[in-house]
Amino acid sequence: MAHYAIGDIQGCHTEFCELLERIAFSPRTDTLWLVGDLVNRGPGSLAVLREVMALGAACTAVLGNHDFHLITVAAGIRRQHKGDTLDAILAAPDRDELVAWLTARPLVASNGPFTLVHAGFLPSWTVPQALARSGEVEAALAGAQAQAFLEALYGDTPTRWDDSLTGFDRLRVIVNACTRLRFCRADDTLELTEKRGPAHTPPGFIPWYEQPARRSKDTTIVCGHWSTLGLMLTDDVVMLDSGCVWGGALTAIRLADRHIVQVPSRAPRVAKPFG
């Protein structure tokens, strides 16, 4: 039995299937974690969703920012962007089933010494707190006000987490932290505009994983999102977005011993638009 994690797939279905073959993944005996952003920009988003759903309980996927984009487009709240590759999903006969399945994914998952999230955690958050806040968002997406929540989802405010936040403001900060975070301050202030690497760190901020008082240091956080950094392994962070959709590679890691397997992208290498 092995526990694997795979980075941002973003519709790269061919590479995903090859990677599963390379690691000899078996849903009967192995466990797979996916760091979110299953869809968009790559050519096979529909096939990726169907493939992941078929893995059943052997696979845990968390929501990424591109997954939320699909959910809101399907709900009629947002329009597609230039470069989106969501048309096949939106026109599929099983569209409603696929979107419902995706909408039911958590923001955070945990298993022993490992915790899964798309982007990262704010400094004050412990793993149990992050799991509880993920549960708040899951409940909102499954509740009677789901449409209203999705309509209020987008925006960069409030800019700072506070335990006293309520309503959609509270949920928006939770989603922003878990799916968009790169830089923050020690007081849980988010910086959501800069999408390049640490060389471009805004004044007063540092990368979230470098916060010295980060309360999630007692776990290994498995994440993706920050393709500018590529594959990055530290003592307590496993960052797996190696830019497959931009011509890089799709990465899998066996968490027990950090054995890495990569499949090169079929796409030509292109400059990232930092989105």
pLDDT in tens, the chain (275 residues): 999 999 999 999 999 999 999 999 999 999 999 999 999 999 999 999 999 999 999 999 999 999 999 999 999 999 999 999 999 999 999 999 999 999 999 999 999 999 999 999 999 999 999 999 999 999 999 999 999 999 999 999 999 999 999 999 999 999 999 999 999 999 999 999 999 999 999 999 999 999 999 999 999 999 999 999 999 999 999 999 999 999 999 999 999 999 999 999 998 887 766 54
- State the pLDDT at residue 199: 94
Nearest to 75 by CA among 148, 182, 171: 148
Please give the domain boundaries of the chain with CATH numbers for all domains.
3-264 (3.60.21.10)
Backbone φ and ψ for 263, nearest 5 degrees, come out as -120, 125
- State the pLDDT at residue 275: 45
HSE-CB at 4 with a 13 A cutoff on CA atoms is: 26
DSSP 51-110: HHHHTGGGEEE---HHHHHHHHHHTTSSPPPTT---HHHHHSTTHHHHHHHHHT--SEEE
- State the pLDDT at residue 251: 98
- Answer for the pair 68, 146: CB distance below 8 angstroms, yes or no: no
Instruction: Return d(Cα 122, Cα 162) in angstroms, integer.
Output: 11
- State the pLDDT at residue 267: 87
Beta bridge partners of 238: 222, 233
Instruction: Return d(Cα 117, Cα 134) in angstroms, integer.
Output: 10
Instruction: Return d(Cα 258, Cα 44) in angstroms, integer.
Output: 28
Whether the model clears a pTM of 0.85, i.e. scores above it, the answer is yes
